[in-house]
Structure 1
Amino acid sequence: MHLLFLFLLFPTVFSLNQEGLILQQVKLSLEDPDSSLSTWNSQDDASPCRWHGVSCDKNSSVTSVDLSNANLAGPFPSAICRLPNLSHLSFSNNSITSPLDIRACKSLETLDLSQNLLTGEIPRTFADLPSLTSLDLSGNNFSGDIPASFANFEKLEILSLINNLLDGAIPPLLGNITSLKMLNLSYNPFPPGRIPPELGNLTNLEVLWLTECNLIGEIPDSLGRLTRLVNLDLSFNNLAGPIPRSLGALTSVVQIELYNNSLTGAIPVELGNLKSLRLLDASMNRLTGSIPDELCRVALESLNLYENDLEGELPESIALSPNLYDLRIFGNRLSGELPRDLGVNSPLRWIDVSDNGFSRELPAGLCARGELEELLVIRNSFSGVLPEGLGDCRSLTRVRLAYNRFSGRVPAGFWGLPRVSLLELVNNSFSGEVEKTIGGASNLSMMVLTNNEFTGSLPEEIGGLEKLNELSAGGNKLSGPLPDSLMSLLELGTLDLHGNRFTGELSPKIKSWKKLNELNLADNEFSGKIPDEIGSLSVLNYLDLSGNLFSGEIPVSLQGLKLNQLNLSNNRLTGNLPPSLAKEMYKNSFLGNPGLCGDIKGLCGSADEAKSKGYAWLLRSIFVLAVMVFVAGLAWFYFKYMAFKKARAVERSKWTLMSFHKLGFSEHEILESLDEENVVGSGASGKVYKVVLTSGETVAVKRIWTGSVKETEDDTDPEKGERSGSVQDEAFEAEVDTLGKIRHKNIVKLWCCCTTRDCKLLVYEYMPNGSLGDLLHSSKGGTLGWETRFKIILDAAEGLSYLHHDCVPAIVHRDVKSNNILIDGDYGAKVADFGVAKVVDLTGKAPKSMSVIAGSCGYIAPEYAYTLRVNEKSDIYSFGVVILEIVTRKRPVDPELGEKDLVKWVCSTLDQKGVEHVIDPKLDSCYKDEISKILNVGLLCTSPLPINRPSMRRVVKMLEQIGGGDEESLNKTRSGKLTPYYYEETSDQGSVA
């Protein structure tokens, strides 16, 4: 009947053979929005061998069908099993759903159904396929147990069940599949359980991946019988006990990954027998002891033992490993000196021995092979001078020597290394001058020389560093005027030269520093006037010129700056304070300037007294006249004042205050500060003001105009379109209803709201670092280290998880984007702007379809755009875009991306060029693995099908596992202690904005 139906439907293809008609039936059963099967209509050939994805044998019989990445949808087409000689079948990365009936595919040898939408238990019938050698079911939603029938496989060599929802124990019966060469069960929510010792029976096994499988207990000795094993990965579990000595029998192993467990004891000397070993990563455990000499003699390429409790000296024999290119042992208790021949016999590229107790001088041959890229030795006790050879190491990109005891002159060639982007020499005893060779450091973006003994002046050649973003050299003995060429550094964001002996005047050319946000010249000998041009530095938020010899008046232009820190104390300034700076809160900013006057108690000092005495005679002369005028005008003033007070009371009575927290201020204090000079932003609904209260606390006030009349330029938003007065009212009500009831550390706090007939005010906690969007896409964005970006991602995820899972009823934000994630002073993130938020009703149903699209271009989930239906999955898609935005530092919609949005650009670039071309090049390459994992989370959240997107609670769990695992590790990370993925927080502080 099926064939008759096909003949009636396709009367023009009678020439097709039986297998072509079967494939036609398969096509009919699938949705094909991209027309990937358009060639499956050929009328020219009797067989389908030229069709897309189809391969045949010499007898024109179909042997292989590969429809991976074809965007097909629908139930698994069981009709395809009627192809008698089909041996290879792949539907990888489509939207194939259950039921999965595979029993008739008796000829199959390889089956790839990875990255689909298959659900339920894994069918037992897979084991009935007698020729099956490869089975890949990764990236689906299978649950339950691994079928007991799998013990019956006779030829299976590859079994991959990565990233499903399997929640039964890992069965010992897998040890019966002795033909296996690869077993991958990673990223499944198995219940806590031990590694079955029976896996030691898989003597043909070459790859064993059990990453994040909730494993507990000790690693069984039986794994030592896997003599053909090449790759062993047991990372991200809760394994305890010692590393088994039996692993020394894995003579073929190339890579062992045991990181993020709770392993104890010493590294077994037997691992020194592994002559093929290239990478050993046992970081984030509780190991003790030192590195065995025997291990250092194997052909290691990468040795990662950071964040353990290793003690003792690093053995000289480590320098004998001929292939060692990656040495990361930071965060331990190692001492002594580094091996003297380190780098001489191996092509070292990355060295990180930070946070240990190493001493003596650095080995002279670290860059003997000319391949050293990163040298990180922070927080040790190294001493002596830098090896001259480092001055010729042109491969170096990052140098961090902070918090040691180095001394002497820095080699001249070291200043001008062409590829170095970060040079950090903080807290040492380096001396000598900054050499003129600095002009050759064309890639330098951060130079941090703080707290050393450098002398002399800054060379003119420093003006050639076009990429320089930060120059910090405080606490030295530098002198002379600032070189004129310094004014040509257009990318300069931080200039910190405090505590030196600089002289001369500040040039008006300072106005060229348009991206400068921190200027600290305190405690020098600068003189002359403070240039008016400082007021044109629009992004400047930190200004400290204290302890100098500046004279003249304070420029009025400083009133236009939005400063978080201002200090002009202890100079020779005179005259009156600019009006907006003459406030008590700024008092300490002006002390020590005897000639400076203003409405602040304590200013003018003895000068006030002298003037007071000098004019005493005049005061006495007019005293009598003043009394007469006073008496005459007292009555008039009284009546006028009472009238004014009454009018004021009427005006204030119009405002209604609703508070959501205990307040230390009144609405009157807020209203008096709503001046244009305090505006820090504007958007679709009104303006945002920064208000500094008399208590010293700062709040943000959003002023929303209501009524039917539209605002001018502030009332239209390119992302949301024009809003009428009624929509403004709805936004206000949504904001109040949402933020007034919820409390969470990652949701912006709403202090109170004030309303009148024509205007509404929302008073929030003030976030000094603004929005993530502004921060990420400003000049400061490139200096945001990965640990800071990860913290922002995790904080925002926890805030959204609270809205989706902990609020009753649940709340859908509907406008998740980087501009609605605000950043506090510690770079913590808080979700904000709930003007379009909606709740999910108590039955669990999402809000009904919206009449208009809420959200911002580039962040809107595809199904929302054409159905106008919104639920938690829409927020998750938008959050995924934010993750991609943070990783790539590209806007969701940007001319740079061509006709693609950010999601499509990331996917296509990954396929065509690889992950290196997606990640922000400003990020440290040592975090590539973690960044790639976070990138995958973002792609998972932006899956086109909502069912494929994880819940926000699951997203938070994945992020915590990537960033440190258990809560104890997470707390350590947040407190600034080391974890391998967050190591930048301590070992790489220079990259943190």
Structure 2
Amino acid sequence: MILLRFFFLLLLLAGAPPALSLTQEGLYLHSVKLSLTDPDSSLAAWDDRDDSPCAWPGVGCDPASGSVTSLDLPSANLAGPFPLLLCRLSNLTFLSLYNNSITSLPSGVSACHSLVHLDLAQNLLTGDLPASLADLPNLAYLDLTGNNFSGDIPASFGRFQRLEVLSLVYNLLDGTVPAFLGNISTLKMLNLSYNPFAPGRIPPELGNLTNLEVLWLTECSLTGKIPESLGRLKRLTDLDLAINYLEGPIPSSLTELESVFQIELYNNSLTGELPPGLSKLTALRLLDASMNRLTGTIPDELTRLPLESLNLYENQLSGELPASIADSPNLYELRLFKNKLTGELPKNFGQNAPLRYVDVSTNNFSGEIPASLCAKGELEELLMIENSFSGPIPEPLGGCRSLTRVRLGNNGLSGDVPSSFWGLPRVYLLELADNKFSGPIGEEIASASGLSVLSLSRNEFTGSLPKGIGTLASLLDFSASENKLTGSLPESIASLGQLGRLDLHRNELSGELPSGIQQWKKLNELNLASNQLSGSIPGEIGSLSVLNYLDLSGNWFSGKVPVELQNLKLNQLNLSYNRLSGTLPPMFTKQMYQNSFLGNPGLCGGGMQGLCNGGGEERNSGYLWLLRSIFVLAGLVFIVGVGWFYMKYKKFKSAKRAIDKSKWTLMSFHKLGFSEDEILDSLDEDNVIGAGSSGKVYKVVLTNGEAVAVKKLWDGPRKESENHDVEKGPVQDDGFDAEVRTLGKIRHKNIVKLWCSCTTRDCKLLVYEYMPNGSLGDLLHSSKGGLLEWPTRYRIAMDAAEGLSYLHHDCVPPIVHRDVKSNNILLDADFGARVADFGVAKVVERTGKGHESMSMIAGSCGYIAPEYAYTLRVNEKSDTYSFGVVLLELVTGRRPVDPEFGEKDLVKWVCITLDQKGVDQVIDRKLDSCFKEDICRVLNIGLQCTSPLPINRPSMRRVVKLLQEISAENAPKKANRDGKLTPYYYDDASDPGSVA
């Protein structure tokens, strides 16, 4: 069909009436227009009634001859096979069809003899790389990045005559890195990164490329040693061999790279010491050899280089940090965490360098914190946890207004914290836990308006909590347990509406709980144990719908246990050793709460051991005893009768359902207020509320009035899903085991709670907390989507991001969900979000390579990250991509795949629409325009998360931070004046530990 179309076009040209004034080259281009699909009318201005094509968009001509010399049509949404008619343009030297949907590259492209620059990156090209490309005699630039080419690199590529740039990044090439590439003597840039090559060595022949300036072989499955021959690349400015399986020492020949600007060797298995002679690298600005097995000390000569960034974290380096590092005039980034370094930091460190990021966590450093760290006023991150630093926090750090993250926990620091340090305006994380700090928490903390996490536990802080703490509107986590704090909780603390955790146990706090705590709508954990708090327990606590940890033990609380506490779904409840009295609410008289109320002599509850026996005035009444006996006997007769009838009914019902309850095995993960019988008796079709790829979901209302959701997994192979799940086959057992294994150990407010599992040989049930508002996907894309105003959508995004961040960063080992989508984000009665459905989740065992290969694709169309679909390699960044699609759904109100998009998905549609029509055509019209600025910021985060390259996607911890920053006054604006959005990307930095 393609050939017929081509010949038809030639006939049209041959038979064109002589009245047409368009040049022959213009006719060729107009035929190219007709051969391509152009849904966005990018070529609409290519009019065959014009005299010349030189004024057409994307077309460049020689001013003297009028001949077409260049064609530049990036991101035009053009689709179809490569138009070979372009090769008839005899003077065409520059051709760029970057970021379109070109589907094939035939060998006939070798007829484009004049081509010097060919850019077909980010298209849909498949199959083998055309060997005939090497026959282009003038080709100097070849970029085929981001396509689906597979197989080997053709041997003909070793014959390029003038090629200077060869970029094959992010394809599916699965041979080995070939030695014949060392024959292309003209090469200045060679980039083969992010391909699933077969394991193989770096060819020593690459050392013959003496004109090479850039060598990128990131994540190419390279093994063995780095060849000494690379030292011959005297013009090399950028060497990147990161994320491979390289071993052995760093060759000393690399110190001969006189022009090298940056060297990246991180995430390999390199051993030995840093080679001597590094001082010869006089142009070196960045050295990253982190996540290896390097030993020895940091050589003094290294610190004398004009380094801007030095990353040697997660190695086995020892000894002291050279004092000469303080003399580095350009150093802005120093990351040395997780080594065995000792000694003190130089006293004048930071005096001469514009330090911005300093992370020396998890070493054996000692001595005082240098007072000059922020002398240049640019320090943003100061991470020093898990060392032996001592002495006070230097007073000058209190004036470092650029600080955003401060982690000084687990040291021997002491003294009063400088008053100005409490009020640093840009800090969002302040961790001082596990030290010997004393003195009060300063009132200046009210100025730290962006503070999200405040960790002060296990110190010797004294005095009252500052009243201004209630002004910290962004505070999510406040822990100051095991100190010597006194006084009452300030009334203002009740206004912290974003607070998720409040832990002040083992202090000397007194007085009553403040009024208004019903504003703690996001509170997940409240621990005020072992204080001197008094008064009654407020019933408002029962309105905190996401609270699952409540410990008020060891205080002086009095009065009754509020009946409102029965509304909570708690994993942990402890009201022991107070002065509570009266009768327990009915829900708490069960044996599972036996240890929750000990040490309250006046408290009575259903004969529970350890509580009062209840009703001493009845003990001396024989009449009441006799009457009670009669009633008991009558009751027994009644129960036997009812039991006989019930057994008959139960037998009938069991036969009808073919369920033998005697064979059910119950495994609980929380304290249960129900039995498996209650669940099994309610599995009627009338109670079905949903069905998906893994089974049916029932709503079961328990006898106590609460509701749970029960998922009954399909028997046999998994069925086709309406949601287009990709993973098929008999995976029921794997899905069940994965869900039980994953959710059974997770405790987080934004992860759906798995109460228990019930199993027999032929049937498996999972019992979850019931989410009244269903899934985000169902609600967002139904007629009820208008109910989700922007503040609600933003909150859902925030909740889901925190849930995924917990899985990726706070679970050990990390957990990758693998099926993040709007239908797997469930909404409670207050539209709080929970991440659900862990049937295909995977625990990522760290092998040092940051990914795990899967045997098949799991996920849903429109949500699957490109590298996962192509290579079956999964890591946390795969979830980040899927979450980015969810953000785009929230912003646009559109589904991830839609017939309106044609062959594109939501990600491509958003990018193209932004580029051509502006942001107003992307945002859901149901959203109030007054939120446009914040919506644009969330849209920008979604674009970052869906970057084609995983390295450009932020971690979920970073996503949480970006979402938190949206409400900050100094948040950077992403919308340009013309209404278009400009995505920004960055390489997400490593974080040595959890902040949660």
Is the TM-score greater than 0.5? yes
Q: Secondary structure at the match of 1:399?
A: strand
Change (3 A) 1:98 1:280: same
Q: Which residue of 2 aligns with 1:617?
A: 620
State whether residues 303 and 324 of structure 2, in contact with CA within 8 Å, keep that contact through their aligned partners in structure 1. yes
Alignment partner for residue 907 of structure 2, among 903, 907, 911?
Answer: 903
Alignment partner for residue 219 of structure 1, among 226, 238, 242?
Answer: 226
Output the amino acid matched with 1:28: L
Output the amino acid matched with 2:68: V
Cα deviation, residue 462, structure 1: 1.3
Output the amino acid matched with 1:130: P
Q: Which residue of 1 aligns with 2:883?
A: 886
State whether residues 885 and 907 of structure 2, in contact with CA within 8 Å, keep that contact through their aligned partners in structure 1. no
Change (3 A) 1:923 1:490: farther
Q: Which residue of 2 aligns with 1:93?
A: 99
Q: Which residue of 2 aligns with 1:420?
A: 427
Q: Secondary structure at the match of 1:585?
A: helix
Whole-Å Cα distance in 1 between the matches of residues 504 and 579 of structure 2?
20
Cα deviation, residue 438, structure 1: 0.9
Deviations 1:877-920 (A, max 9, x none): 9x999644535873623468999996358636997999997675
Whole-Å Cα distance in 1 between the matches of residues 811 and 527 of structure 2?
27
Alignment partner for residue 953 of structure 2, among 929, 932, 937?
Answer: 932
Cα deviation, residue 629, structure 1: 7.6
Q: Which residue of 2 aligns with 1:131?
A: 138
Q: Which residue of 1 aligns with 2:202?
A: 195
Whole-Å Cα distance in 2 between the matches of residues 84 and 633 of structure 1?
103
Q: Secondary structure at the match of 2:295?
A: strand
Q: Which residue of 2 aligns with 1:110?
A: 117
Change (3 A) 1:626 1:462: closer
Pair 1:52-2:71 in alignment: no
Q: Secondary structure at the match of 2:242?
A: coil
Alignment partner for residue 240 of structure 1, among 241, 247, 254?
Answer: 247
State whether residues 77 and 101 of structure 2, in contact with CA within 8 Å, keep that contact through their aligned partners in structure 1. yes
Which structure 2 residues correspond to residues 643-682 of structure 1 after superposition, within 5 A? 646=648, 655-657=657-659, 663-664=665-666, 669-672=675-678
Alignment partner for residue 746 of structure 1, among 729, 738, 745?
Answer: 738
Q: Secondary structure at the match of 2:277?
A: helix
State whether residues 893 and 902 of structure 1, in contact with CA within 8 Å, keep that contact through their aligned partners in structure 2. no
Output the amino acid matched with 1:112: D
Change (3 A) 1:889 1:327: farther
Cα deviation, residue 532, structure 1: 1.3
State whether residues 692 and 699 of structure 1, in contact with CA within 8 Å, keep that contact through their aligned partners in structure 2. no
Whole-Å Cα distance in 2 between the matches of residues 560 and 917 of structure 1?
34
Whole-Å Cα distance in 2 between the matches of residues 781 and 227 of structure 1?
50
State whether residues 393 and 417 of structure 1, in contact with CA within 8 Å, keep that contact through their aligned partners in structure 2. yes
Whole-Å Cα distance in 2 between the matches of residues 370 and 569 of structure 1?
50
Cα deviation, residue 324, structure 1: 0.4
Alignment partner for residue 830 of structure 1, among 835, 838, 863?
Answer: 838
Deviations 1:962-984 (A, max 9, x none): xxxxxxxxxxxxxxxxxx98954
Change (3 A) 1:655 1:146: closer
State whether residues 12 and 43 of structure 1, in contact with CA within 8 Å, keep that contact through their aligned partners in structure 2. no
Cα deviation, residue 751, structure 1: 4.7
- The range that moved more, 741-750 or 160-169, is 741-750
Cα deviation, residue 149, structure 1: 3.0
State whether residues 71 and 95 of structure 2, in contact with CA within 8 Å, keep that contact through their aligned partners in structure 1. yes
Q: Which residue of 1 aligns with 2:932?
A: none
Whole-Å Cα distance in 1 between the matches of residues 758 and 630 of structure 2?
48
Cα deviation, residue 75, structure 1: 2.1
State whether residues 503 and 526 of structure 1, in contact with CA within 8 Å, keep that contact through their aligned partners in structure 2. yes
Pair 1:84-2:90 in alignment: yes
Alignment partner for residue 165 of structure 1, among 165, 172, 178?
Answer: 172
Cα deviation, residue 350, structure 1: 0.5
State whether residues 112 and 136 of structure 1, in contact with CA within 8 Å, keep that contact through their aligned partners in structure 2. yes
- The range that moved more, 581-590 or 5-14, is 5-14
Whole-Å Cα distance in 2 between the matches of residues 233 and 781 of structure 1?
35
Whole-Å Cα distance in 1 between the matches of residues 485 and 61 of structure 2?
77
Output the amino acid matched with 1:51: W
Q: Secondary structure at the match of 1:102?
A: helix
Deviations 1:923-977 (A, max 9, x none): 99xxx98462789xx9xxxxxxxxxxxxxxxxxxxxxxxxxxxxxxxxxxxxxxx
Percent of paired sites with the same residue: 51
- The range that moved more, 20-29 or 83-92, is 20-29
Change (3 A) 1:625 1:641: same
State whether residues 887 and 919 of structure 1, in contact with CA within 8 Å, keep that contact through their aligned partners in structure 2. no
Pair 1:471-2:478 in alignment: yes
Cα deviation, residue 383, structure 1: 0.6
Which structure 2 residues correspond to residues 493-508 of structure 1 after superposition, within 5 A? 493-508=500-515
Q: Which residue of 1 aligns with 2:449?
A: 442
Output the amino acid matched with 2:889: P
Pair 1:313-2:305 in alignment: no
Output the amino acid matched with 1:397: T
Whole-Å Cα distance in 1 between the matches of residues 277 and 721 of structure 2?
72
Deviations 1:756-781 (A, max 9, x none): xxxx9973055899999799827655
Whole-Å Cα distance in 2 between the matches of residues 83 and 781 of structure 1?
53
Whole-Å Cα distance in 1 between the matches of residues 607 and 460 of structure 2?
39
State whether residues 78 and 100 of structure 1, in contact with CA within 8 Å, keep that contact through their aligned partners in structure 2. no
Output the amino acid matched with 2:993: D
Q: Which residue of 1 aligns with 2:807?
A: 788
Q: Which residue of 2 aligns with 1:962?
A: none
Q: Which residue of 1 aligns with 2:965?
A: none
Change (3 A) 1:160 1:919: same
Cα deviation, residue 564, structure 1: 1.5
State whether residues 515 and 537 of structure 1, in contact with CA within 8 Å, keep that contact through their aligned partners in structure 2. yes
Alignment partner for residue 271 of structure 2, among 264, 275, 287?
Answer: 264
Q: Secondary structure at the match of 2:953?
A: helix
Q: In angstroms, what is the RMSD of aligned CA positions?
A: 4.8
Deviations 1:368-399 (A, max 9, x none): 00100000001001111010011100000010
Alignment partner for residue 186 of structure 2, among 175, 179, 191?
Answer: 179
TM-score normalised according to structure 1 size: 0.76
Q: Which residue of 1 aligns with 2:338?
A: 331
Change (3 A) 1:892 1:796: farther
Which structure 2 residues correspond to residues 421-570 of structure 1 after superposition, within 5 A? 421-570=428-577
Deviations 1:708-743 (A, max 9, x none): xxxxxxxxxxxxxxxxxxx99999xx9999775545
- The range that moved more, 658-667 or 432-441, is 658-667
Change (3 A) 1:431 1:3: closer
Deviations 1:653-693 (A, max 9, x none): 655426899614899933447999xxxx9955775459899
Alignment partner for residue 777 of structure 1, among 780, 789, 796?
Answer: 796
Question: Structure 1: which 5+ residue stretches go unaligned?
Answer: 705-726, 755-759, 801-812, 834-844, 847-853, 862-871, 939-979
Alignment partner for residue 22 of structure 2, among 1, 16, 27?
Answer: 16
Change (3 A) 1:489 1:730: closer
Cα deviation, residue 245, structure 1: 1.3
Cα deviation, residue 147, structure 1: 3.0
Change (3 A) 1:820 1:227: farther
Question: Structure 2: which 5+ residue stretches go unaligned?
Answer: 1-6, 692-696, 713-718, 742-755, 777-792, 829-833, 842-855, 920-934, 960-986
Output the amino acid matched with 1:315: P
Change (3 A) 1:626 1:325: closer
How many residues matched? 856
Output the amino acid matched with 1:304: N
Whole-Å Cα distance in 2 between the matches of residues 517 and 814 of structure 1?
24
Cα deviation, residue 91, structure 1: 2.0
- The range that moved more, 643-652 or 466-475, is 643-652
Whole-Å Cα distance in 2 between the matches of residues 629 and 21 of structure 1?
103
Cα deviation, residue 110, structure 1: 0.9
Whole-Å Cα distance in 2 between the matches of residues 917 and 92 of structure 1?
26
Change (3 A) 1:228 1:691: farther
Whole-Å Cα distance in 2 between the matches of residues 586 and 145 of structure 1?
65
Cα deviation, residue 16, structure 1: 1.1
